Amino acid sequence: MDAAARLAPSHAGHPIAIDTAAARPRFRLGSTPAARQASGWVELAPAQSPFGVATTRDGRLVFELEITAADLPAASDLGPYTHYEAWLTTPKLDLIHDLGPIENNRAVHAQADWNKFTIIVSAEGAPVGRKWTSAIALIGRSPSSLMQSFASHPLFSVPEPD
């Protein structure tokens, strides 16, 4: 990784790489033990509209995502699977969108309108369900997922004077 990339700790104990020198902001998809040699990136760009930047009806910004993976092993190496699928989910995993099949060195284009999100690449069989299987090969979190509120930290919970 080049010197322009910044590393920050992730919740899973693996670093999250955010490449600040790229033409468009991007974040790294980290490999799991199931596919240690695999890697990937998610490039972010504000979605365009005739009025400038695209938003949803309730005012959330829409981002264009370009997801690429490299060095994924054959899906069948991970079990009874036939291909890899890309997924978009919230950090709480309560909302999940199937972004479609993904292959080595072929970009998947999608949109996200959540401030914080996670991208998962998993090995899947046919038919694909409503959620990924346990065969996760790559995972990455949006840069905004690194932001956290410290309002509930004990440092800020000073008792009120009587």
How confident is the model over 28-58, as pLDDT tens digits? 999 999 999 999 999 998 888 888 889 889 9
> Rounded to an integer, what distance in angstroms lies between the CA atom of residue 128 and that of residue 99?
11
CB 66 within 8 A of CB 106: no
Q: Which pLDDT value is given to residue 50?
A: 86
Q: Which pLDDT value is given to residue 10?
A: 40
- Evaluated on CA atoms 21, 100, 62, 91, the torsion sign reads negative
Residue closest to 133 by CA, chosen among 121, 145, 146: 121
Number of residues written out for the chain: 162
Q: Which pLDDT value is given to residue 11?
A: 41
> Rounded to an integer, what distance in angstroms lies between the CA atom of residue 113 and that of residue 4?
27
pTM of the model: 0.76
> Rounded to an integer, what distance in angstroms lies between the CA atom of residue 159 and that of residue 157?
6
For residue 160, the 8-state DSSP code is P
Residues of the chain with pLDDT under 50: 1-14
